């Protein structure tokens, strides 16, 4: 498909473990965004990339969270020493620079930390 792809769709892990969430954006979209969404709440901004560089990482909650986009396409969100409070749906979105700059979202990765 031509949409934003996120893997895994579901991840269950134990407290203290390391987790990686992957996002494959729409081809040609230079901007990529990560959000975290808890049940019944709006998406919470984490970080966005313009090309390979993180243009704004002000939403990362602490140094356990890190994201990379080494070749300007696929991005990986990395969470170290997971905590139960990290449980949420992690949404990835990509955006072209042209037009309205609307976000095209993936279906999300649901993370559950036991």
Partner 1 sequence: AQKITQTQPGMFVQEKEAVTLDCTYDTSDPSYGLFWYKQPSSGEMIFLIYQGSYDQQNATEGRYSLNFQKARKSANLVISASQLGDSAMYFCAMREGLGSASKIIFGSGTRLSIRP
Per-position DSSP letters for the chain, written without gaps between them: --S-EEE-SEEEE-TT--EEEEEE--TT--EEEEEEE-TTSPPEEEEEEETTEEEE-TT--STTEEEE-TTSS-EEEEE-S--GGG-EEEEEEEE-SSTT---EE---EEEEE-
Shortest distance, position 95 Cβ to partner 1, whole Å? 6
Residue 65 binds partner 1, judged by CB under 8 A: no
Shortest distance, position 71 Cβ to partner 1, whole Å? 18
Residue 68 binds partner 1, judged by CB under 8 A: no
Residue 103 binds partner 1, judged by CB under 8 A: yes
> Residues 103, 3: contact at Cβ < 8 Å?
no
What would the x/- binding string for partner 1 be over residues 21 to 50, using CB under 8 A? ---------xx-x-x----xxxxxx--x-x
Residue 89 binds partner 1, judged by CB under 8 A: yes
Decide whether 9 or 80 has the Cβ nearer to partner 1: 9
Residue 95 binds partner 1, judged by CB under 8 A: yes
């Amino acid at each position: 498909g031509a949409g934003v792809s996120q893997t895994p769709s579901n991840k269950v892990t134990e407290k203290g473990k390391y987790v990686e969430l992957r996002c494959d954006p729409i081809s040609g979209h230079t901007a990529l965004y990560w959000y975290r969404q808890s049940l019944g709440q709006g998406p919470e901004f984490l970080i966005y990339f313009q090309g390979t560089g993180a243009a704004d990482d002000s939403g990362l909650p602490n140094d356990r969270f890190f994201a990379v986009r080494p070749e300007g396409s696929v991005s990986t969100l990395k969470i170290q020493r997971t905590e139960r409070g990290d449980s949420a749906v992690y949404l990835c979105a990509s955006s072209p620079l042209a037009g309205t700059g609307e976000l095209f979202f993936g279906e999300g990765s649901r993370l559950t930390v036991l």
